Chains A and B, each alone.
Chain A
């Protein structure tokens, strides 16, 4: 079984069968995480570079562990402590790293399109760990995997994304992936935080959270970046929390078997109340564990040898 692509750049346009293959394979890797020895050998001898130009704790550790648990050799590059400070260009940086004979690159960068650019100047498999506001495909996949764990199927599921959709790569990946798998997706936030022409993504749009939550199965709550308030995109944190914060009282409009999700890190008391974050409907910690399994699945599926390299026996 093989993905139809050598890279994972985003969920937009990713065929349904690729999404399903990644998700199905992730089930097996989730089981590996429950074993006493959480390590399997399929990427033995492969080298993966984590190229993080933007800070990250969660995603970087998750990828790092996923690579090590597949027995790959993994190294992490942080722009702040590298020759990038001396003015080395992205292209030179990656070419130099590739000259050390590496197989796969996991990249996070503030400019959208950088992962695609890397596919044009490197031979390695490229995995997008977040490019600007464009996409964060492994986060989208792990969110979908978590929903599938609970609801068994995605088709027909009603999902609501709440928060700063405009600046969110997590939201975009969620929307593309969920729609390909047949879910019905809605977004909600203040108009200043909703993308221009959002309706062209095929989602329902709400600016009133109580209306938005009517009959929904899954609420995926996005972090409010407090810097946006500095930029005048909403008047005050308290006002945001009053109008859009998810607290226990707001949940009554949801379907009975509802789920609360959040990609993290949470601003407790801002977009999500403490009570909701720690409630039994919250699967936030499962998302983190599932993220490992999904990333192991992606690394495993992309690591098949290219046809031109197959030795003739």
Chain B
């Protein structure tokens, strides 16, 4: 990965605006916060989940339950790995039956992580709906999965790498595209929100 070729897709302020907009969209589509629970996929999805909950609290004054989920036990590549992925702890300390569950992750790519998350959620209960919120959708789905709420769409090639950094864990808030090392970067910075 040639670091000097990296492209900044979103800086801290643009990230913040996109996340705020997503929070508003969630509230609009669900008619408020009463029926919501939010589950973030470890690790960065969980950070984003907490941010969304915090913004919802500011807007509506309602405290929505937030859970975190490690999906590694539900991966579809278990028969192909020589190493098992590190398993972190899942914490969903509330009932999800009948709720509108907002599943949150930082980047949507092949869709396999979300597939694993859905299998795991069903083992916890039966939500009324599961809606997917992501900060970045970079295309290249390998399964029929789509996001309900998207912070930003980024065109990428399969070999590119997209990383989201949050100041809670990393140094600053930003979204970076690392183009695949054997091609020149042709990605352009877009302005504006999602589709």
Task: Enumerate chain A interface residues (CB-CB to B < 8 A).
Answer: 1-2, 25, 27-29, 31-32, 35-37, 39-45, 300-301, 303-307, 310-311, 313
Contact = CB atoms under 8 A, between A and B. Distances in A.
B95 to A, nearest CB: 9
A40 B72 CA distance: 10
Contact of A42 (B82, B84, B88): B84
B73 A40 contact: yes
Nearest to A40: B73
Contacts of A45: 79
A111 B155 CA distance: 63
B39 to A, nearest CB: 14
Interface string B76-113: 00111111111111110000000000000000000000
B89 A28 contact: yes
B82 A307 contact: yes
B125 interface: yes
B90 A28 contact: yes
Contacts of A300: 73, 84, 87
A1 B83 contact: yes
B123 interface: yes
A31 B91 contact: yes
B35 interface: no
A284 to B, nearest CB: 24
Contacts of B82: 2, 304-307, 310
B124 A305 contact: no
A101 to B, nearest CB: 14
Contact of B123 (A39, A305, A311): A39
Contacts of A25: 86-87
Contacts of A31: 89-91
A44 B70 contact: no
A301 B84 contact: yes
4 A-B pairs closest in CB distance: A40-B73, A37-B123, A2-B83, A28-B87
B84 A303 contact: yes
Contacts of B119: 41
B81 A305 contact: yes
B165 interface: no
Given A28-B73, A36-B123, A40-B74, 17 more contacts: A1-B84, A2-B82, A25-B86, A27-B89, A28-B70, A28-B87, A28-B90, A31-B89, A31-B90, A35-B123, A36-B125, A40-B120, A40-B123, A43-B78, A44-B78, A45-B79, A306-B82
Contacts of A304: 81-84
Given A36-B124, A41-B73, A44-B78, A2 B88 contact: no
Nearest to B90: A31
B115 to A, nearest CB: 12
Contacts of B84: 1-2, 42, 300-301, 303-304
A296 to B, nearest CB: 10
Nearest to A1: B86
A44 B73 CA distance: 11
Nearest to A303: B84
A37 B120 CA distance: 10
B89 A305 contact: no
26 contacts: A1-B86, A2-B82, A2-B83, A28-B88, A28-B90, A31-B90, A32-B90, A35-B123, A36-B124, A36-B125, A37-B124, A39-B123, A40-B73, A40-B120, A41-B73, A41-B74, A42-B73, A43-B78, A300-B84, A300-B87, A303-B84, A304-B82, A304-B83, A305-B81, A305-B82, A310-B82
